[in-house]
Chains A and B, each alone.
Chain A
Amino acid sequence: MLTVMRTAAAGLAVLLAAGCAAPAPPRSQASAAAGTACARAQAPPEAETATTIDVIGQAYFCILGDYYSGATLDARSLLTAGFAALTREINRHGREVPEAIMPALTGDRKADWAAFASAYRKITDRVPDLRDRLAVVTLEAIVAALGDDHARWTHDLKRPLDYYDGDDYGLGLETNVTGSQMDGDSGVALAPLFVTAVLGGAARAAGLRPGDIVEAVNGSAPFVDGEATPAIGALYPRYPDARPVEVRLLRESTGRRWSVTLKPALYPRDLAALQVVRSKLLDDDVAYVRMTGFSPDSANRVLRAISRLRSGRTLSGVVLDLRGNGGGSPTEANRLLGAFVHGKVTAYQCTAGGACEAGRTDDTVELLGLPLVVLTDRGCASACEHFSSAVKDLHLGRLVGTRTAGAISGPAQAYLLGNNTVLVFPARHHLGPNREVIDRIGVPPDYHVAPTPKDAAAGRDPALARALTLLRE
């Protein structure tokens, strides 16, 4: 499942990193989606060309044909959203087109498209210099109208010329409010805003530390009346946004208040920290495994790490740290679940009409037979929530931390459009093992342990401490 989380790493770096690493689709799924306007992306696309009304039409019919609720959704809502964006963009350029009036729609998908396309052509002919830009905002708005955390249109992908594998783009910090929370994708943001990790770049150069409280971003308060403000979003710039960000900080331990200006840039990450699976032995008898994604082979890597820590000693349990795990493949989730139980349904993938396919544990995996505690947070999204909900519903272990992201609409499929851009959305909707909706709701922990600035400043990890306590009980 495609990760949709945008953490401090920001869109570009995440996209490139995941993108560079992601394998080709399996051949069984690589055939063109039958009877729809679009083909599943398989080979690397050629160079992108301009987005045209025909490409928009292809995307529209692709969504109606393959999106999980494409058969039943009101197609007029997509066209209306696209048209609204189109007219707003014209106005944004200080222009106006007298004929820019939404055509009457009837509910007949093909006829409505023809009417839309005809109006679109007339309008854009009046502002030919804006043609490419208008096409982009129109298609973006149609995809956004799905309101789906796994739907996106990737286009105009450029990476900075000085990008190196493993680089991130941004300010080099993470806070307790993630970029995706700012996008409204996931969860409630709680004051105060504080630094949870310094990854490199400008934040490291400026001497920021975990636990530092962010009192203002570009002069604006991050919270007003307890509600997160859009100001926080400036902490997560995406390439090519390079506007400096002024941050006012408080270090509670010393009482120091100061301001720094951080400039977004590419910065190298610590390569070891980028490994998707890392492990260590805690207290001589607990296998601690941190897994930042359900990438190919990741389940096997986790199991091998546990097996290695287990050799020559008796383990009392496993702590699986899934905080910040942006998801990946449901196959990997099912494989890892197969180490804890066999013969169970772990999730359902459903059409809007209620036809579901069950996902099952991979019973070829040997059962570990060890107590399990899973650490979760708002950064645990998509396949990570598939895994966590199965652990919870099937009573395979205990969850400690905070509620997961609630960003698990369904396994995203990629479709190649005629101008070599890629449209991504789920063809099936994800439900938990008890057929419950997890998308937008998340998976609550059994033991709620929230991060605090004091703990972050002191380098304490109370969620992990609670996990170890639970394994002792």
Chain B
Amino acid sequence: MRDPLKQPMRPIVAAAAALAALAASACSAPAPPRAAAASTAPAGPATLPAPTGGGAVGTTALYLKDTSRPDPWNLDVQARELKVTLWYPAERRDGRRAPYMTPKESELTLKGLGVTGAPYDMLSRTRTNAVKDAEPVGQGLPLVVLSPGFTEPVSTLTSLAEDLASRGYVVAGIDHTYENYATTLSDGRVAECLACDSDTDPGFGAGVVKSRAADVSFVLDRLTSEWDGADLIDRGRIAMVGQSIGGAAALATMVEDSRVRAGIDLDGTTYARIPKKGLSRPFMFVGSPQHASGGLDNSWDRDWRLLTGWKRWLVVSGAEHRSFTDAPLLSDALGVTSPAGVLPGARAAELDRTYVAAFLDLQLKGRRQPVLDGPSARYPEVRFCPATCAQS
């Protein structure tokens, strides 16, 4: 669960360190906690916090194949296969909870991250709230596309996804095949992180977000025909939210596909070129303090000038790169100790859910959201950039 441009787990020559150090801050968010560095005895499996919207949540998986383009990573595959996980309002809350991921995916993910303080199946034992294959309910629901960080499966955004579904959104989370440590495809094969091989190439980020934008457009094309519950969706109300390079992909997708009306980037250095005339649809950056204006990564400063519609740039004190994923909720179970001063998992999840939902409620449901108007006493961690957050 790392930013694409950083490789804290991989040994390489120290020669690159100077540049790495500079560019790490220049290009991306803070390093994830060194999983192996500080381990405590693991607690039991994690339980994700209950969704706050009140409604029951169902989930199911779709396997889609885009035969119009070859896979960008696996040169031997002539089509792009994607797994889409849907979370949606469900009629009933009883039924089997969906697994967080498979034991094999858990193992590959933990190995990929270098987490050794917990049994390899630990992630697959995470308790979720959504009922597997529950009957969907509702109509005219807004749709939110979720795109995860590099090397991460979309499961790492489950807490956010379940919460949004409980608030009346259909959520389509995409596993961008070969861009994470493990995704089980429709035939049972487990796709691993082929893209990880080239993640130090110049232009890598630019290529990934372009490819992800194509993934999303294809999913939007097909979602209505491939899923029984698709008639729930109001295709006029689509937004996209992503973490890390998934957030960068949200911006890239909006540049390419006008069906996406609004977007949120959670702590992702951005790569897409916004046309000179600007992007007028609503967009919100939410980041850790590394993404305050005037920081070494100037990608948000660059894009901010080109966002011409409703926009916000929030920086969350105490947040780190993975605060916008399930990672802080899982750290105890994985025996990973967060550095002092980092937001605890429950608080990080609360802030993440609150501000993402507020944005979507405003943009897709037209409901006024005072928390987005300025600093809020209930959420003192959240600062509004660039006005009041510039780095000294």
Interface on A for B, CB 8 Å cutoff?
Answer: 1-2, 15-30, 40-45, 47, 150, 154, 157, 159, 161-166, 268-269, 271, 274-277, 295-297, 300-301, 304, 308, 328-331, 411-416, 422-424
Contact = CB atoms under 8 A, between A and B. Distances in A.
A413 B17 contact: yes
Contact of B200 (A40, A297, A308): A297
Given A25-B20, A296-B10, 4 more contacts: A19-B26, A26-B14, A40-B14, A328-B16
18 contacts: A18-B19, A19-B19, A20-B202, A22-B17, A22-B20, A23-B10, A23-B16, A25-B17, A26-B13, A163-B298, A276-B200, A276-B201, A295-B201, A296-B10, A328-B13, A329-B16, A422-B21, A424-B15
Interface in B5-44: 5-8, 10-28, 30-31, 34, 37
A114 to B, nearest CB: 28
Contacts of A296: 7, 10, 12, 200
Given A44-B21, A411-B14, A271 B7 contact: no
Given A162-B302, A271-B203, A295-B201, A22 B16 contact: yes
Given A164-B271, A295-B201, A331-B13, A414 B18 contact: yes
A274 B203 contact: yes
Contacts of A276: 198, 200-201
Contacts of A30: 14
A24 B13 contact: no
Interface of B: 5-8, 10-28, 30-31, 34, 37, 75-76, 196-207, 210, 271, 273, 296, 298, 301-302, 391-392
B12 to A, nearest CB: 5
Contact of B14 (A25, A43, A277): A25
A44 B269 CA distance: 15
Contact of B20 (A19, A277, A304): A19
Nearest to A269: B203
Nearest to B294: A47
Nearest to A329: B13
Contacts of B26: 16, 19-20, 157, 159
B17 A40 contact: yes
A21 B23 contact: yes
A20 to B, nearest CB: 4
B15 A329 contact: yes
B16 A43 contact: no
Nearest to B295: A47
B27 A20 contact: yes
A18 B202 contact: yes
Contacts of A154: 18-19, 22
B30 to A, nearest CB: 7
Given A165-B203, A165-B206, A2 B76 contact: no
A329 B34 CA distance: 23
Contacts of A15: 19
B206 A166 contact: yes
Contacts of B23: 16, 18-22
Given A19-B20, A296-B10, A331-B13, A44 B201 contact: no
Contacts of A297: 10, 196-198, 200
Given A157-B22, A308-B75, A414-B18, A44 B271 contact: no
A411 B13 contact: yes
A314 B265 CA distance: 49
A18 B16 contact: yes
Contacts of B298: 159, 161, 163
Contacts of B205: 20, 165-166
A290 to B, nearest CB: 13
A24 B273 contact: no
A15 B20 CA distance: 10
A413 B80 CA distance: 42
Given A2-B19, A26-B12, A44-B30, A21 B206 contact: no
Contacts of A25: 12, 14, 16-17, 20
B19 A411 contact: no
Nearest to B76: A308
B17 A275 contact: no
Contacts of B25: 44-45
Nearest to A413: B14
A1 B205 CA distance: 23
A297 B201 CA distance: 11
Given A2-B19, A161-B298, A165-B203, A275 B198 contact: yes
B125 to A, nearest CB: 29
A424 B198 contact: no
Contacts of A411: 13-15
A2 B23 CA distance: 14
A161 B202 contact: no
Contact of B16 (A2, A157, A277, A304): A2
A358 B20 CA distance: 26
Contact of B8 (A23, A295, A413): A23
B332 to A, nearest CB: 23
A44 B296 contact: yes
Given A21-B5, A161-B302, A165-B206, A41 B21 contact: yes
Contacts of A308: 75-76
Given A19-B26, A296-B200, A297-B200, A424 B18 contact: yes
A29 B302 CA distance: 35
B14 A271 contact: no
A-B pairs with the 6 shortest C-beta distances? A166-B203, A19-B23, A414-B18, A23-B7, A44-B25, A17-B202
B207 A330 contact: no
A40 B199 CA distance: 24
B14 A47 contact: no
A150 B16 CA distance: 11
Nearest to B36: A27
A295 B20 contact: no
A414 B7 CA distance: 17
A29 B18 CA distance: 13
Given A23-B6, A274-B202, A42 B13 contact: no
Nearest to B196: A297
A308 B76 CA distance: 9
B197 A331 contact: no
B12 A23 contact: yes
Given A20-B26, A26-B11, A161-B298, A47 B20 contact: no
Given A23-B16, A165-B205, A45 B21 contact: yes
A40 to B, nearest CB: 6
Contacts of A16: 23, 26
Contacts of A40: 14, 17
Given A24-B8, A25-B14, A164-B271, A42 B201 contact: no
Nearest to B7: A23
A42 B144 CA distance: 38
A390 B55 CA distance: 66
Which interface residue of B19, B198, B200 has the most chain A CB atoms within 10 A?
Answer: B19
Contact of A41 (B17, B202, B203, B204): B17
Contact of A413 (B15, B296, B301): B15
Nearest to A26: B11
A460 B163 CA distance: 60
Nearest to B34: A27
Contacts of A165: 27, 202-206, 271
B223 to A, nearest CB: 28
A159 B204 CA distance: 18
